[in-house]
Amino acid sequence: MKTPNVRFDALLVLSQVLEQGKALDDALASVNVAQNPKDTALLKFLCYGLLREYEALDYLLTHLLDQPLSPKALQLRLLLLLGLLQLKNSRMPPYAVIHETVALTKKLKLTYASGLVNAVLRRFEREKPSQLALLQNKFFPEHPAWLIARLQQHYPDCWQTIIRHNNTPALMHLRVNTRKTTRRAYLASLETCGIKAYIPPGFPDAITLEAPVDVEQLPQFNEGLVSVQDLAAQLTPHLLQLHAQLQVLDACAAPGGKSCHMLEAAAIDLTSLDVSTVRLQKLQANLIRLGLHAKVVAEDALQFAHTAPSAGFDRILLDAPCSGIGVIRRHPDIKFLRRESDIAALHATQVALLTALAALLKHGGYLLYATCSILPEENDATIKAVLSRLSELQAVPLFALPLVKALPASPYIRNTAYGIQFLPEPKSHDGFYYALIKRSLA
């Protein structure tokens, strides 16, 4: 079997993201085949690290070059930035990093630049303390200007903090399948395996790992005892107040984390709907691993809303298509791929989906609207637009619910006019939004 060249694969992935506009997960999947866990970890370190620190690394590069690189020399720039990332942040021997990076110039047909690559990386390593001092007390937003402006507008008290949090790696959180085990029992299993973890306050089914691990290292992962899911996303079944026999619709369900969690929480009759057949395969795989069952439907949610029997569900979850601004630390490619014009288009889609799905809600039923965005245009503004059209709907004050009252007091959990906004917090949850809507009894 051919030995994989992880650094070359990283360059392929980054080129797909930055030149072709491909999502990082999709780009990783295109090259991350038959790699062992160690290679996979290195590949992710390189790709995630460079996208998180692109601006700071590029700043260092400008101080190491005698002449600026051509804007067209993206492959050479990425190669140099990857070398600097490894010398700055990894424990790899510097001579190995420099050797491997220079060797890639031949594979990339950049042999003319091998001397430049060697000189730049050696200079950085030789002058490392003074080079790193250039970064001290300097703020690198690592976000596009349009997004910075919106964060300044909506969060004048903490926009820089949000940006810093977005530029840090996220923690790994587990959701315990309470049909099969308890948190305390699973925490003990983790301890037996030498995996350090703890129970975060306020999130009923969660365990947080002190350091991420491959899922195959998690005890009885394949037997369905746990899943990987962010803390804020784990509140879904509790906010919907699920109990047995309810007819429930998950309208944008794939890859199935929230569908599975709802089924773990109560013996509901669940319809899991999504337009993507590829992503629904992941949902089916999750259902099988966890030993759960749902009616899985491959259809566009708007089309489904127009053809399904009206007022057919006691509960509806709309985890709406959104910008993903709240999960940038897990998906740093969002900073490069999202455009300001996307926000208005997403808002229109969200309003259309919410309006159409509300017609499928039984009188007295609840619809939970969720996004992984922290932009009010996708959250409160969407709820306001729909409530102004449909008088039979009303927002439920989430902060009055016992579950929400039990959340830890935090400046990163905020009450809004219509829901609750989680802001990204390094030691806890991602950015996430919920609003709960009730349809009147008559």
CATH number at residue 429: 3.40.50.150
Give the Cα separation of 80 and 50 in Å (integer).
Answer: 11
For CA atoms 186, 189, 193, 194, give the dihedral sign: positive
Q: Inter-axis angle of helices 114-126 and 74-89, to 10 degrees?
A: 30
Query: Counting beta carbons within 10 angstroms of the beta carbon of residue 40, is it exposed (0 to 12), middle (13 to 18) or buried (19 or more)?
Result: middle
The model's pTM: 0.95
Preceding peptide of 255 cis, ω within 30°: yes
Residue 198 DSSP SS3: strand
**Eight-state DSSP code of residue 373:** -
C-alpha angle 55-60-64 in degrees, rounded to nearest 5? 145
In a domain, 146, yes or no: no
Single out the residue in 133, 156, 190 at which a domain terminates. 133
Is 372 among the residues known to form the active site?
yes
Q: Same structural domain for residues 317 and 176?
A: no
Q: Which of 252, 260, 322, 372 is catalytic?
A: 372
What pLDDT is stored for residue 130 in this prediction? 96
Residue 114 is part of a domain; what is its CATH number?
1.10.940.10
Q: Are 251 and 353 in contact (CB under 8 A)?
A: yes
What pLDDT is stored for residue 441 in this prediction? 85
**Eight-state DSSP code of residue 186:** H
In a domain, 27, yes or no: yes
Q: What is the pLDDT of residues 156-175, one digit of tens each?
A: 999 999 999 999 999 999 99
- Give the range of the structural domain holding residue 11, as residue numbers without chain letter: 6-133
How many angstroms from the chain centroid is the CA of residue 303? 27
Q: Which residue has the higher pLDDT, 133 or 33?
A: 133
* Euclidean distance between the first and the last CA atom of the chain, given in angstroms as a whole number: 67
| Residue carrying the six token digits 């365990």 | 207
In a domain, 43, yes or no: yes
In a domain, 277, yes or no: yes
Q: Same structural domain for residues 248 and 280?
A: yes
In a domain, 199, yes or no: yes
* In the predicted structure, residue 3 carries a pLDDT above the cut 60: no
Residue 215 is part of a domain; what is its CATH number?
3.30.70.1170
Considering its fold, how many domains does the chain have in total? 3
Residue 212 one-letter amino acid: P
What pLDDT is stored for residue 33 in this prediction? 63
Single out the residue in 107, 133, 159 at which a domain terminates. 133
Give the Cα separation of 319 and 143 in Å (integer).
Answer: 25
Q: Same structural domain for residues 253 and 368?
A: yes
pLDDT confidence bin for 1, thresholds 50/70/90: very low
Q: Same structural domain for residues 214 and 252?
A: no
What pLDDT is stored for residue 37 in this prediction? 81
Q: Same structural domain for residues 103 and 23?
A: yes
Q: How many CB atoms lie within 10 A of CB 309?
A: 7
* In the predicted structure, residue 309 carries a pLDDT above the cut 80: no
Average pLDDT over residues 3-21: 92
Q: Are 83 and 97 in contact (CB under 8 A)?
A: yes
